[in-house]
Amino acid sequence: GRRGGAGRREPPSRSPAGSMAPAAPPPLLLAVLLVLGQPVLGAPGQGAGTWSRFARLPYPQDQLFLHDTFPDGFLWGAGSAAYQTEGGWRQGGKGASVWDTFAHRPAAPPPGSVPPGPAGGDVASDSYNNLYRDAEGLRRLGVSHYRFSLAWARLLPNGTAPLNPAGLAHYRRLLGRLRELGVEPVVTLYHWDLPQGLQDAFGGWASPVLPRLFRDYAELCFRHFGGQVRYWLTMDNPYVVAWHGYGTGRLPPGVRGGPRLGYRAAHHLLQAHAKVWHLYNDHFRPTQRGKVSIALSSHWIKPQRMTEKDIKECQKSLDFVLGWFAKPIFIDGDYPESMRSNLSSLLPEFSEVEKKYIKGTADFFALSFGATLSFQLLDSHMKFQQLESISLRQLLYWISSEYNNPQIFIVENSWFVSGSTKRDDAKYIYYLKKFIMETLKAIRYDGVNVFGYTVWSLLDGFEWHRGYSIRRGLFYVDFQSHDKKLMPKSSVLFYQKLIEKNGFPPLPENQPIEGILPCGFAWGIVDNYIQVDTTPAQFLDSNVYVWDVHQTKKLIKVDGVFTSKRKRHCVDFAAIRLQISLLQEMHVTHFHFSLKWSLILPLGNLSLINHTLVHYYQCFASELLRVNITPVVALWQPMAENQDLPVSLAKCGAWENPETVQAFVEYAKFCFTSLGDHVKFWITMNEPSVKNLTYTAGHNLLKAHAKAWHLYDKEFRRSQKGKISIALQADWVEPACPFSRNDQEVADRILEFDIGWLAEPIFGNGDYPQVMRAWLHRRNSVDLYNFHLPYFSEDEKKLIQGSFDFFALSHYTTTLVGWEKEDALKYDHYLEVQMINDITWLHSPGRAAVVPWGLRKLLKWVKSKYGDVPVYVMANGIDDGQNMVYDKLRVYYIQNYINEALKAYTLDNVNLQGYFVYSFNDKTAPKYGLYSYTANQYEPKPSMKHYIEIIDNNGFPGPETPELLCREEIASCPECHFFRTRKSLLAFISFIFVAFIVTIFFITYYSKRVERRYK
């Protein structure tokens, strides 16, 4: 059986890639934000500066998670719409709406549309019969407001008088219950469900009669409910109603009237809104003291390229969707100039009187943003060949700049999960987290005036053109059940806690700490394989050459004539000198690299040895020691081609073949013998990839490691005085829903399969984790194929258990996992695990998540599982896409991962002994190096200089940090090593020196004798 599955992340091409956030905005970020300024008040088009402003913000500081709270009195709520949740479509005298008719139509849907399903909203969540159930959900959340809509056809079945008493009583009961709970109602008069009677009689919003009828309906609502409502929304998302209801026909009433009719319907919707605002302002505001606005929906768009042309196209896109309604209301009563100039006669005209009448008819800006419009109902032509995005923060800034910094009330926002997802809705949570975080940044960083936020929606319901294929509720509804109970999802707990805390307040664990690491701490750097260049120096060539001065002007080898050849010296390898000098500049104490088994023993045994390469490794290690850098050497590291096994072994089953075990032990013995005088820090196997490992191969690999360890322990440790262990790939795994027991079980299972599989036999009880055995037993009972996990004999358990001197791990990132299947591409069927992405995390160009706290959790887990074992973080790094902008992310990565390691050492008492950055340079590990490599030149990146600073400080000392006095190492000095390894050279120099002294003596002596003779 092979381990693996969809969506599992491998270490970055041996290769790697992992949020800690500041309690307050970094000083640099605040300074830049002050320079770039708050939203500027001015003429329409001012929002065009949004794209360039956000492109100039400092990276990655501006993208870090902001731990802060919202302003006092900030409104937190949830919302719903009548047709989506009420059901009861023929109860209590309700009339038919255009959505009822549309959902019941027998004809095929228009091309490109998704049929809502035969049931539509007939029953939906049955909120009409479960008013107190919904109110209990609101009480549990602790919201300050509830946005809901009145069903026009429930109050006025035909759209006009007479009034339906049952409908009136229903909404009075709802408002009364909200008052009892202290929840503020935010009431929408019209949320897409136009009475069918008005469509049949007048043609709906295509008719100029509708604004007056809408005013009459609003007056009835103000008169009966206005005493209990402070926030009114005249209508929701007029863009969708006009464009898809009367232009494309994708949505009810399904009229395919083309752009001209779509623009006419929008014209009437604006007139209707203005009539209702003036009605309230003139007749109801003095006594009811409420506020009236219109819920406008928008997408966000970003330019293909940051050119003036593309930015203008983005501005035009927002004009055509949001500005179509917002500019007349919030600026001057007329449509955006870009629409006027592009649409000419298609766009209706407002008279000067109408412009004045419409201008200013909103008491706040009510914004809807999310899954209804974005990537769904936005007409593709209105993108103007630019790229749709979901940046709420940039949209808020654009609105603030474009419309004179209005007060903004977010009245609908969220994303969605699959219709099959039940109660652990992790994807939904992380979108909410992203949107709420962007709202907080818009307030704190950008000066945008947002005063409320509304999650959409309170409960699962009928999702318009997508029917029941998706869910957007905080509470789960089983639509097949009779009683339609509300069951809280994980997002309820998330939102409830967020409301309690009024945001994301700073927590102690989010704060960086000051302190230093212990004496002798190993500060290292990693290279997969060192650069090997064994080209012989000219002094090692024994051939004799003649210079052809007459014809070719070249050296010609004389056949059969040879000179004596001198012994090889380490100074003959120029490549070693360069690499050692680069390492010296880094101030590291340790350098970790792997040997190439396939090159040292090409045939897999001692019958053919690459002595030149072995000598190269000996020289490299001795030169490292000469400059006080400890070599950390791995015997084997699996790479793409043949897993870097000798070809003969790779072709004979690789690790599946038990003979590979003995071959590895022979190879290890040869390396210990040849290099052991220089190497005191051994890794048997470096990052064996569990994803590509069968259970049989893993079984043999563990035995090979243990035998190599015991070989070193018995035959080499006493004389060489080194240490040896295995290095495991160990990324952290976190439950996607922190409140879900099922997700926690999945996370525990993945940790055992990813780390415990190889760690438990060595560092634990000598056998595989019980979780693995139990899971495979369960899988084998239902699967067609049998995934057999081998058993160790008692002798093998004793051999493997305890075969370590330290715990070495490579850690790059953190993964979120859940049990609910949401995305097939990221679902591992074998382990029944869904990979989830927290979109608030920073990500590298290679999509590696930057999650520093994951390292601390991992180190604590290792300690809790395997005791107070010495731990080395043998590789930790991230890619930069060979773009120096992203080296700034590496600076942040190194700083914060090391700080989390310091927390593990200082606060959690983890026996941390060393930390190594991956990787040395871009030549051997493209995109991961601290040195860039271009045109045969190595250049240090800023991240390297930052790492040097941390090494020189031995951590993060502060004013209160006590000074650490470390006893100097006296075991070896580089000078002593230099002299020991160059005895013949020293003898020759000594001879020359003595001969020189004797010569001087005789010259002086005889010169004096000659002098005396002549006197």
Asked whether the beta carbons of 537 and 615 are under 8 A apart, the reply is no
Please answer whether residues 532 and 924 qualify as being in contact, where contact means their C-beta atoms are separated by less than 8 angstroms: no
Which residues of the chain are under the pLDDT cut of 70? 1-43, 107-119, 536-542, 564-568, 783-786, 968-986, 1010-1015
Best CA proximity match to 367, nearest among 450, 447, 480:
450
DSSP one-letter code for 936: T
* 3-state DSSP assignment of residue 876: strand
Burial class (CB in 10 A: 0-12, 13-18, 19+), 639: middle
Instruction: Return the closest-CA partner of residue 693 out of 790, 601, 762.
Output: 790
Three-state SS string across 423-488, please?
CCCHHHHHHHHHHHHHHHHHHHCCCCCEEEEEEECCECCCCHHHCCCEECCCEEECCCCCCCCEEE
Q: What pLDDT, on a 0 to 100 scale, did the predictor assign at position 57?
A: 95
Question: Is there a cis peptide before residue 60, judged by omega within 30 degrees of 0?
Answer: yes
What distances in angstroms separate CA 444 from CA 32, 47, 497, one per listed residue? 14, 19, 21
CB neighbour burial string for 972-996, b if at least 16 within 10 angstroms, e if fewer = eeeeebeeebeeeeeeeeeeeeeee
Confidence (pLDDT) at 546: 80
Task: Give the C-alpha separation, 543 to 560, whole Å.
Answer: 8
Residue 300 exposed, middle or buried by CB count within 10 Å (0-12, 13-18, 19+): buried
- Which of 225, 230, 228, 250 has its CA nearest to residue 240? 250
Give the tens place of pLDDT for each residue, 352-383. Answer: 999 999 999 999 999 999 988 888 999 999 99
Name the token pair of 38. 């708050």
> How many Å apart are CA 164 and CA 673, to the nearest integer?
96
Q: Tell me, what's the pLDDT at 974?
A: 45
Give the 3-state secondary structure of residue 597: helix
Query: Can you tell me the distance from the alpha carbon of 396 to that of 594, in angstroms, rounded to the nearest whole number?
Result: 52
Q: What is the pLDDT of residue 508?
A: 86
Query: Which pLDDT score is estimated for 947?
Result: 98
Signed CA dihedral, 391, 435, 375, 145: sign only: negative
Burial code (b: 16+ CB inside 10 Å, e: under 16) for 134-152 equals bbebbeebebbbbbbbbbb
Interatomic CA distance for residues 7 and 823, integer angstroms? 9
| pLDDT reported for residue 28 | 55
Q: How far apart are CA 94 and CA 366, in angstroms?
A: 29
Q: Exposure pattern of 704-727 as b/e (b: 16+ CB <10 Å)?
A: bbbbbbbbbeeebbeebebebbbb
- Which pLDDT tens digit goes with each residue over 127-170? 999 999 999 999 999 999 999 999 999 999 999 999 999 999 99
- CA of 318: how far to CAs of 336, 515, 541, 943, in Å? 10, 50, 74, 40
* Calpha distance 762→751 (Å, rounded): 16
Q: Which amino acid is at 768?
A: Y
pLDDT of residue 902: 98
Token pair listed for 153: 């056809």
Q: Check residue 793 and give its pLDDT.
A: 97
Q: Are 565 and 542 in contact (CB under 8 A)?
A: yes
What pLDDT is stored for residue 19 in this prediction? Answer: 36
